[in-house]
Amino acid sequence: MVGKVFLVGAGPGDAKLITVKGWESIGRADAVVYDRLASPRLLKQMKPGAVKIYVGKRPDRHTMKQEEINQLLVDLALEGKVVVRLKGGDPTIFGRVGEEADLLRKNNIPFEIVPGVTSAISVPAYAGIPVTHRDYASSISIITGHESPDKLDRSIHWDKVTNATGTLVFMMGVSKIGYISEQLIRHGRPAQTPVALIRWGTRAEQDTITGTLEDIEAKVIAANFQPPAVIVVGEVVNQREQLKWAEALPLFGKRILVTRARSQASELVNRIEELGGEPYEFPVIETVIPSGESALESVKQAFGALNTFDWVFFTSVNGVEFFFRHLQQQGKDIRSIHQARVAAVGPSTGEALRKYGIVAEVIQGPFQAEGMLEAFENELKQGQRVLLPHGDLARSWLPEQLRERGLLVTEAIIYDTILAGEDDDELLKLLEEGGIHAMTFTSSSTVTNFMSILKRMGLQDPLPLLKNVEVACIGPVTAKTAEAAGLKVTMMAEEATIESLISVLSDWKRKPATEAVFPANHIN
């Protein structure tokens, strides 16, 4: 059975700038053939077992010739696979999609072209440059710049192109910027015409340089400005100083590693994106129902006695979610604890309970076990029965303190935290190139698992690779674990909440690079 090929535009770099149809195509693919301009985050949408094949091109070398890529798509489809050819920007704008589609057609392989957000328009927009403007330009030309001067002269009619439209956008022409400027001036564009080059637009590495046709080559050379970049020529470039919105965001230019479990990472990821940062998801933990017979039996016994407890203490959102999963599995409902006082550590845990119709007593002190004890110290009585539903890695401090005070404590280990995370060559590459600017840890297990996975990927000593990466922890317990692992913690949330973690990340962006961001009550 013959498969099908989707020729998909990945957008300019920001993973969210792909179309819905493109996103869905990746999710159903058996194989994804991609280049370096496609965001690595898009590959995480691939289903388990799907293969990814890198065919990217760099200025100094080509991983695979275009003819070989064309044949690869045919071969994969003839194996019966659903194939996605993932191309940066839009596949029909200098993406050679016509050549790929033509060979597919000749081999009777069905295909679809899925348009993408072209970098010719979106990259300038992220630099604050609208490619048209009612006062400055009512038309635009998109021109290839990625050719030798003699080829440029054959493919571009300079005498017609130079003044054909108000705005000229050259794709991939950084190394030819001097020749392009020279030809435009020679054919009638004023030497003082504004020019902008935007490299890696919409990504953390986004960088913009501006000048005029007369001086832009010298500026590019002085700045050692490297491709890939989009070149914009025209009066619209002058809008940049008023409209450079992306660079004004608190986390612009920062790629932040998120190690939280995928099921819980969305809030942190979304907030980083809202503030202009680029999150890189690398979940290192996964929470699951305990699989051991003894563990499940102890949970069953604890839930069989729910109507006997005076207190139920929830110390995490995971504790809430798994508590109700067990409750449902055992055919019970929340009326089983109608006589107990329900308490929660922190607003997130309280909000999780509220979704199940439980208005808990939420402690407002330190959002950890110590805060729980401090809040109810005077109300805990000897002989009272306490249920502590938690995970297998929970600290023993709280149950020990409660038992010392004469309370009868039942611990129900309702979920296990296991090692997750696939080997990720792209992450290693980013770390080697300094492309990860900060790492976030939301629990001690995220620290230990992250270090374990790096070692599994071949780094016997990960610390040298991480020495220049800022480390942000959600609280003092996690920070101590990070420091014990050899990491230098430079940021710690004042409260054990995602919002507080985001707050210190924003403060870090505004402070000097050598200045750590800690709450006033940080414990060394």
Catalytic residue (choose from 171, 172, 372, 491): 172
Q: Under DSSP, is residue 45 helix (H, G, I), strand (E, B) or coil?
A: coil
Q: Which two tokens stand for residue 78?
A: 């003839």
Is there a catalytic annotation at residue 35? yes
* DSSP-derived secondary structure letter, 99: H
Give me the residues paired with residue 142 across strands. Answer: 169
CA dist., res. 430 & res. 424, Å (int):
10
Secondary structure E strands in 25-71: 31-34, 51-54, 57-58, 61-62
Angle, alpha carbons 248-251-255 (nearest 5°)? 135
Token pair 């200025």: residue: 59
Half-sphere exposure of 280 (CA within 13 A, CB side): 22
Burial 398-412 (b: 16+ CB within 10 A, else e): bbebbeeeebebbbb
Catalytic residue (choose from 35, 254, 424, 509): 35
Q: In terms of Cα–Cα distance, which of 244, 232, 283, 247 is closest to 453?
A: 283
Catalytic residue (choose from 21, 44, 52, 57): 57
Centroid of chain to Cα 241: 28
Is there a catalytic annotation at residue 425? no
CA dist., res. 441 & res. 324, Å (int):
26
Q: Under DSSP, is residue 430 helix (H, G, I), strand (E, B) or coil?
A: helix
CA dist., res. 475 & res. 468, Å (int):
21
For the chain, how many helices (H) and strands (E)? 21, 23
Half-sphere exposure of 43 (CA within 13 A, CB side): 27
Centroid of chain to Cα 448: 21
DSSP per-residue string spanning 159-196: HHHTTTSSEEEEES-GGGHHHHHHHHHHTT--TT-EEE
To 10 degrees, what angle do helices 317-329 and 293-304 make? 80
Between β-strands 82-87 and 57-58, what pairing exists: parallel, antiparallel or unpaired?
unpaired
Is there a catalytic annotation at residue 492? no
Q: In terms of Cα–Cα distance, which of 374, 404, 403, 409 is closest to 390?
A: 409
CA dist., res. 229 & res. 391, Å (int):
48
The torsion defined by the Cα of 33, 38, 40 and 41, in degrees rounded to 10, comes to -110
Catalytic residues: 35, 57, 172
